[in-house]
Amino acid sequence: MQSPLPVRDGVNATRLRLPAEGPWETAMDYMMHRWGHIDPQGIEDRFDAGEIVGEGGVALDRTTKLRDHTFIWYYRTLPPETRIPVELSILHQDEHLLVVDKPHFLPTTPGGTYIQESALVRLRNHLKLPDLIPMHRLDRMTAGVLLLSTNPETRGKYQVLFEKRQVQKDYECVSAAHPAAGFPAVDFPVVVRNRMTKSRSYLLAEVVPGEPNAETRIEKLEAFDGGTPGSAPLARYRLEPHTGKTHQLRVHMASLGLGIVNDSFYPDLLDKAPDDYSKPLQLLARGIRFVDPISGTPVEYRSGLELSESVRAGSA
């Protein structure tokens, strides 16, 4: 549903669905029920200022009946954020697409404690492109090629490519050169298939019994010494996901006893700690390729970033 409020400071207005019935007489009564314990005066002030709107952009006031609107929109009050010390690089830009190298630690879209400090909001504000929308997502800890639509009129043509799995992606990661104790040796290249699920209420994706819905081809590219004297050897791997489940690559590498370097989720969930920018997750979206639906020609975009463990090995 189209928001009647424009993007402001790179952020979309928040949409709230009002209940069809309940003990609340007005829309403001319902908002007080939801958030009045946090900022009751702020809610009243927003209604008085006409900053909360319904369908068609009609401003609501304190007396607007609950039944008068199904959805309402408003701008959230955003807390100050500490800037994440990383930068985005533009790989390609035209009237339809923007392709960037997203760094580690920067989320793709706003959420939780990261609003202004997300790739989408940064790019909207920097490039003055309020209609910018990502065509896919990368985990906050994953770096690499990110494709965004700049043109609402042609956006659907690119969305179809992703829906029909006509976009090929390849990733690189650094993991141990040999599986952990208790895991069998792996004959590369290997294809990992299993059934994965992830609920919004739980941090980790899980492998469950059933028909496979996640598939990744994994190839070992090169082995090299670990980063410190006496440490176990590492290797760089090429990962080709044929599906796009949340945390799929991290789970599939961990399932082989080859958990990705600096992964705080798999194979073991570590205690939450402040970001250590010197130890990024060693996972990179290296490239993306497809037949452009506008020009009809094959295109490919490649990341200019390198995994720090690979760079360290190359300079040793």
Considering only CA atoms, give the Rg of the chain: 23
pLDDT at position 125 over 60: yes
Looking at the fold, whether 68 and 215 belong to one and the same domain comes out as no
CATH code where residue 109 lies: 3.30.2350.10
Looking at the fold, whether 95 and 222 belong to one and the same domain comes out as yes
pLDDT band at 202 (very low <50, low <70, confident <90, very high): confident
Average model confidence (pLDDT) for the chain? 94
pLDDT band at 316 (very low <50, low <70, confident <90, very high): low
Looking at the fold, whether 131 and 69 belong to one and the same domain comes out as no
Residue 266: Cβ within 10 Å count: 18
Q: Return d(Cα 76, Cα 57) in angstroms, integer.
A: 16
Q: Read off the pLDDT of residues 226-278 as tens digits, 9 standing for 90 and up.
A: 767 778 899 999 999 999 999 999 999 999 999 999 999 999 999 999 999 99
Looking at the fold, whether 186 and 145 belong to one and the same domain comes out as yes
Q: Which of 74, 109, 130 is the last residue of a domain?
A: 74
Any domain includes 2: no
Domain that holds residue 34: 7-74
Question: Residue 144 in contact with residue 138, Cβ under 8 Å?
Answer: yes
Looking at the fold, whether 29 and 154 belong to one and the same domain comes out as no
SS3 159: helix
Mean pLDDT of 128-145: 97
Any domain includes 81: no
Q: Return d(Cα 303, Cα 306) in angstroms, integer.
A: 8
Q: Which of 47, 74, 101 is the last residue of a domain?
A: 74
**Percentage of the residues of the chain whose pLDDT score is greater than 90:** 88
Q: Return d(Cα 235, Cα 231) in angstroms, integer.
A: 13
**Percentage of the residues of the chain whose pLDDT score is greater than 70:** 98
Any domain includes 64: yes
Question: Residue 117 in contact with residue 83, Cβ under 8 Å?
Answer: yes
pLDDT band at 15 (very low <50, low <70, confident <90, very high): very high
Looking at the fold, whether 64 and 109 belong to one and the same domain comes out as no
Q: Return d(Cα 282, Cα 111) in angstroms, integer.
A: 23
Q: Within a 13 Å sphere around the CA of 240, how many CA atoms are in the beta-carbon half?
A: 12
Looking at the fold, whether 159 and 259 belong to one and the same domain comes out as yes
Looking at the fold, whether 55 and 182 belong to one and the same domain comes out as no
Looking at the fold, whether 36 and 66 belong to one and the same domain comes out as yes
Looking at the fold, whether 289 and 244 belong to one and the same domain comes out as yes
